[in-house]
Structure 1
Amino acid sequence: MTVTGRKWWKDGVVYQIYPASFKDSNGDGIGDLNGILSELDYIKSIGVDTIWICPMYDSPQVDMGYDIRDYEKVYPPYGTNEDMERLIAETHARGMRIVLDLVVNHTSDQHSWFQESRSSKDNPKRDWYIWRPARYVDGKRCPPNNWLGNFGGSVWQWDEHTQEYYLHLFCPEQPDLNWENPVTRQAIYKSAMEFWLERGVDGFRVDTVNMYSKGDMADAPITDPGSEWQFAGFQYCNGPRMGEFLAEMNEVLQRYDAMTVGECPHTPDMARVVKYVSAKERQLNMVFQFDVVDIGQGPYKFQTTPKNYTLPQFKRAIAQTQSLLRLSADAWTTVFLENHDQSRSITRFTSDAPAHRVAGGKLLSLMMCALSGTLFIYQGQELGMTNFPESWDMSEYKDVDSSNYYKMVAERSGNDSTKLAEAKASLQHLARDHARVPMSWSTAKYNGFSPPDAKAEPWMRPLEDAALCNAEQQQGDKASVLAFWKRMLAVRKEWNDLLVHGEFDDLDEQNEDLFVFSKTWKGRKALAVCNFTDKTQSLTLPESVRNSKRELLVSSADRGDEAELAAWEGRVYLLS
């Protein structure tokens, strides 16, 4: 059923690991590389063929490792470079591949490059970062522009020592590298990429991949009159030299046949996305677009209420990312609902009520496995892990994005209790923290994340529902979310051409309850029907497929071809 000669990453299923929260092997409360190593056989058993490890580099951990102090060294609590090399070798020994996070828009302010850059205006590395003089308005010192940072506040930090501002699109401790400098770019390729490619990694998930060319850095339009700082994503993303920078980076990657998947926010122009992922352009293999996971978010992500979207909006977002295969014969796309920056998909898109969570987890698995592109699963998603409960207070939110938002609401509202309750409700639904709680491995102490005799509590509080949701129990339960993921990944592999490479069509876009879509490959057709409600729905098919002969391939509720769909049930049919 599979066309030969395809790139390995097209048919791949990638399992994302957040090292701090995956498994703690030595009892210090923090997940580590040896913890990952101990569960490689479990990961392989799911049916995935590639693992992606979030930043494991040496870091002060202001932004959980996305502030890198040394690209060539492992963060000591995670292990050593030797541990990392052993993990690479053991992954390969199991017939799997391994990709790392490539974070090269910015470094930590503790990186030796930045330490030199800020030491004086005439240091040779001064121009490795983006420095600008102040502008003065009515005699008052102001940052060079009005851009809002990704974690709130201005993107400019005043440096007292050299009397200039430096740019940081994220935390002040994450200064942006100056990609306009060719010497800087070569240093990035050598230290961040070649160092690990030489040690056998198979590619990279490229963080903030479209932010390297910043354009003219003019003020952003005013979209939030109540704030001094304005959303500037369309200013600093997709700048004029992006194609040139990525083509240069790709020359390095091609020497190693390395795969890339870029994080591509704020890119509504699909022609631009196609350019990034078209094989002939030689920039990136694929990107993560955020259309689907941004559904229901407010203008500033958390400024919203839970489930603030309709099913047709969700379906349109999926159609947008699926359309890449139609727009260009040599483009490729991705399928994901969770990662380290998103809350849990069952809570967001189905129901985490005890009666529905398993059904919801299976429905989402079926839908994802029937969509085209490279499939990405986040740790715990295969078990149906959900957001942590509303009863947890703000002290459990460790992420800089969450705490900054809550502080901003407190300041703007004068600690108004109603506004703070709204902020917490939004965080309860959308915060990144929910993906970062420790994995639930068993019902043992600490949910099996740390050894029972651990010397320290886990760095984040483990969930309280391990009795309902843990890897050990699910591995022996044929009715579990995990068992269904294994089954769907096998179905996806068996019907690879149709499900991974087929053309997607939404057959009933306005339906508020059902998501009905077809997949077509060289005259063959599959039909997916997903009930996105907690009620039984009649199986009413659109006219275009109503009279087709259909053969039930799989039901997430393990039912036959019945006239009604159970709550949160999905089915895949073959049509003839």
Structure 2
Amino acid sequence: MGRDWFADAVLYEIYPQSFSDSDGDGVGDLRGVISRLDHIASLGVNVIWFNPCFASPFVDAGYDVSDYYSIAPRYGTNDDLVELVAAAKERGIRVMLDLVAGHTSIEHAWFQRELAADGPDPDGNRYIWCEDLPDRAWNLDIPGTPAWVPSPGRRQGYYLKNFYDEQPALNFGWVRRPGDPAWRDPIDAPGPRRNRQALKDIIAFWLDRGIAGFRVDMAFSLVKDEQLADGLAETVALWREIREWLDAEYPDAVLIPEGTEPRTGGPAAFDADFFLVIHEEHGSLFDNHYAGLLPFHEPREPFFDAAGRGSTRVFLDAWDAARAGDPDRLVVMSTADHDYDRLCCGPRTAEQLGAALTFLFTWGNVPCLYYGDEIGMRYLPGLPNVEGAVCNPAYNRAGCRTPMQWDARPNAGFSTAESSRLYLPVDPAPDRPTVAAQETDPSSTLNLVRELIALRQATPALRTRATTRVIHDGYPFAYVRGESHLVVVNPRREPATLAAAEAVGATALLASGITATSDGFTVAGFGYGIFTYRAAGPATA
């Protein structure tokens, strides 16, 4: 079977700190997830993706790993994860982990060893060091902060970081250029070779414990001084080497990058591209900027907005580019994620979610449901800076990381801890959505999500392998899947009309706010629908 299973995947992203707390310490854990597996299974999803669960001092919410081979004690043990994988498998659900490949924590034993040394490691430096401060930097540092950090230990000089000072960049080598200083290791130097092998060892350790694959954080940042214009060829080649090894040793294992894989003309190293929430291919559809603006953001009206002033053009162009040369290329798209906002953000209300969810589960992408979006949890502004959530004055990630809202009990059923001990505050609104309240409401967001996923899983034409043909790229947005199913969504407040042959006589499978006309549909504000239709055939005598 290989990796074909991923084409029909529906992912569910769990931010483990905030999902379910089993031991009353105010922080979510793996046994809490085990206790909620029946809810996850009830959605119809078949893959759980966890944000980092490894041992960490949690300067950056676990994206600063101190031990890749151990589950963080606050989440439980390695045995708990193995039990979770087995329990999920019984429900037809695979488990994927987040792999932080480009950097570690300063508390990792590798870094502590190099920090305490008199000079370069004779086996090859795992990190990037220089004695004199360079005049350039080639990393993803926090804007306005130095990329090179003075050594706080016996080792002289500076180390290169990848984000926060506490996240030293791992050494995968540099693209060599004339006149390069000696400290810039080539990609085949001992240190980079050690780190490549370490990636394989870490991946194998967890695959041997039942993990189905990995989403790779900052996947294309490994080799330094690469140019995007050159396709980041050396980093892609590194991952292609790992893919070849996986194909031989773990042919079912999936690798998903953070972002879109550069095209270098060779075989793809990853199994899909990932349209990130913070980038414009996704943001042009959904980002209403309520959660803030990053320096690379271009303010724009999102298409899925009540004002109805957005466009699908940026998204459609990016989609076509991602699949150019490979029409079967998989693309993951999320409802939201741990790094920015939620669908239900600011003025976007629950009644607007139907059109957005219908699109995300029928377009032909591999959909990823962010925990809580199945009930329309809100992004909460102005929350405290917990575990590096505020990494830019206009970029607070805490608002999308709040505790899951299960029921009407204190802390919304997330934890029995005092509210002051919670990882983050729970939405204080009296009308906050909960799983329990929506279970028995047939018109709830929760039950719409279940219907959409069930319809997708039962209908090949709505999944990834079927063709997609746009018949109207404005309001309403309308497209045909597999030349047998018509999807229509109107995210704006005002009604819209669709005149199309495919709509005449179409039969609704799931619809809200759509009225048939002589030549198509009238679609109410925030309306949506999925229809079967009979394609016009050749005339007969």
TM-score normalised by length of structure 1 = 0.79
In 2, are the aligned partners of 1:151 and 1:401 still within 8 Å (CA)?
A: no
Q: C-alpha offsets along residues 384-416 of structure 1, whole Å, 9 cap, x if unaligned? A: 11112x5xxx453435352x422xxxxxxxxxx
For 2:138 and 2:358, how far apart are their aligned partners in 1? 44
**Deviation by residue 1:160-207 (Cα, 9 ceiling, x = unmatched):** 5433221112111111111231122102221x2111111111111111
Contact 1:437 1:461 in 2 (8 A): yes
**Structure 1 position 293, deviation (Å):** 3.5
Structure-to-structure mapping, 1:105-124, within 5 angstroms: 105-120=102-117, 121-124=119-122
- Partner secondary structure for residue 8 of structure 1: helix
Note the alpha carbon deviations across 1:187-235, whole angstroms, 9 max, x for none: 2221x21111111111111111111122369xxxxxxxxxxxxxxxx48
Q: In the alignment, what sits opposite 1:316?
A: 313
1:281 to 252, 267, 276: 267
Aligned CA distance change for structure 1 residues 361 and 387 (closer, same or farther; 3 Å): same
Pairing of 1:546-561 with structure 2 (within 5 A): 548-557=504-513, 561=516
Q: How does 1:114-513 map to 2 (within 5 A)?
A: 114-120=111-117, 121-124=119-122, 127-135=125-133, 143-145=135-137, 149-150=141-142, 152-159=144-151, 161-179=154-172, 180=187, 181-190=192-201, 192-215=202-225, 234=228, 238-254=231-247, 255-256=249-250, 257-264=252-259, 272-273=262-263, 281-290=267-276, 291-295=280-284, 301-302=293-294, 308-311=300-303, 315-323=312-320, 324-325=322-323, 327-347=325-345, 351-352=347-348, 357-388=349-380, 394=382, 396-398=384-386, 400=388, 402=390, 404-406=391-393, 423=394, 427=395, 431-451=396-416, 457-465=421-429, 467-509=431-473, 511=474
Report the residue type matching 1:42 in the other structure. Answer: H
Tell me the CA shift for residue 325 of structure 1.
4.1
1:104 aligned partner, one-letter code: A
Residues 337 and 318 from structure 1, CA distance in 2 versus in 1: closer, same or farther, beyond 3 angstroms?
farther
* 1:25 to 1:260, Cα distance in 2 relative to 1, 3 A: same
TM-fit CA distance, 1:259: 1.1
1:76 aligns with 2:73: yes
2:176 aligns to what?
Answer: none
The 8 Å contact of residues 27 and 455 in structure 1, kept in 2 or not, is answered as no
1:125 deviates by 5.5
Structure 1 residue 327, shift from structure 2 partner: 3.4
* Pairwise CA distance, 1:462: 0.3
8 A Cα contact 2:213 2:253, kept in partner: yes
Q: TM-score, normalised by structure 2?
A: 0.84
CA distance in 2, matches of 1:134, 1:285: 41
> For 2:375 and 2:19, how far apart are their aligned partners in 1?
13
Distance 2:296 2:231 in 1: 27
Moved more, 54-63 or 489-498: 489-498
Q: Which amino acid aligns with 2:15?
A: Y
Q: C-alpha offsets along residues 240-285 of structure 1, whole Å, 9 cap, x if unaligned?
A: 31232111211343322111111126x7xxxx3586xxxx715110
**Cα root mean square deviation, aligned:** 2.9
How far is 1:540 from its partner?
2.8
- Shift of residue 126 of structure 1? 5.4
One-letter amino acid of the counterpart of residue 322, structure 1: W
Q: Is the 8 A contact 1:325 1:503 kept in 2?
A: no
Secondary structure of 1:100's counterpart equals strand
Q: What does residue range 36-115 of structure 1 map to in structure 2 within 5 Å?
A: 36-115=33-112
For 1:240 and 1:385, the matched residues in 2 are separated by 40
Aligned-pair distance for 1:26? Answer: 0.7
Give the 3-state SS of the residue equivalent to 2:158 in structure 1.
Answer: strand
One-letter amino acid of the counterpart of residue 124, structure 1: P
* Residue pair 1:152, 1:405 contacting (<8 A) in 2 also: no
Tell me the CA shift for residue 59 of structure 1.
0.1
1:50 Cα offset (Å):
0.9
456, 467, 485: which one pairs with 1:526? 485
The answer to whether the Cα contact below 8 Å between 2:300 and 2:310 also exists between their aligned partners in 1 is no
Kindly provide the CA deviation profile for residues 138-176 of structure 1, in whole angstroms up to 9, marking residues without a partner as x. xxxx65437661465232212154332211121111111
- Measured after TM superposition, the shift of residue 38 of structure 1 is 0.3
Deviation at 1:124, TM superposition (A): 3.3
Deviation at 1:329, TM superposition (A): 4.0
- Any idea what SS the aligned residue of 1:176 has? coil
Taking a change above 3 Å as real, the CA distance of residues 261 and 148 of structure 1, as seen in their structure-2 partners, is closer
The alpha-carbon distance between structure 1 residues 106 and 238, as it changes in their structure 2 partners (threshold 3 A), is farther
Task: Tell me by how many angstroms 1:313 deviates.
Answer: 5.7
The residue type paired with residue 183 of structure 1 is R
Identity of aligned residues (%): 27
2:383–2:398 Cα contact (<8 Å) kept: no
Contact residue 28 and residue 455 of structure 1 kept, 8 A = no
SS in 2 for 1:82: helix
Query: Contact 2:48/2:94 (CA < 8 Å) preserved in 1?
Result: yes
Letter in 1 for 2:258: E
Q: 1:359 to 1:341 in 2, by over 3 A?
A: same
**Partner secondary structure for residue 83 of structure 2:** helix
Q: Deviations over 1:95-146 (max 9, x none)?
A: 21111111111111110011112222232365211122324xxxxxx65437
Residues 498-529 of structure 1, C-alpha deviations (whole Å, 9 max, x = no match): 443233344333x3xx14232343xx243222
Name the CA distance, whole Å, in 2 between partners of 1:147 and 1:322: 27
The match for 1:231 is none
Q: Provide the rounded CA distance (Å) in 2 between the counterparts of 1:205 and 1:551.
A: 39
Instruction: Judge conservation of contact 1:274–1:328 (CA < 8 Å) in 2.
Output: no
Change beyond 3 A, Cα 1:273–1:368: farther
Flag the 1:151–1:96 CA change in 2: closer, same or farther, 3 A. farther
C-alpha distance in 2 between matches for 1:548 and 1:106: 56
Q: How far apart are the structure 1 equivalents of 2:288 and 2:151? A: 34
Q: Is the helix fraction higher in 1 or 2? A: 1
Letter in 1 for 2:525: A
What's the CA shift for 1:553?
A: 2.4
Query: SS at 1:366's partner residue?
Result: helix
Counterpart code for 1:565: V
By how many angstroms is 1:494 displaced? Answer: 2.0
Letter in 2 for 1:240: A
1:47 CA displacement: 0.5
Amino acid at match of 1:263: E
Tell me the SS of whatever aligns to 1:77: coil
Q: Spell out, residue by residue over 1:449-505, the C-alpha distance to the aligned partner (whole angstroms, 9 max, x if none).
A: 002x65962110000236440011111211110000000111111222344323334
Unaligned runs of 5+ in 1: 136-141, 218-233, 407-422
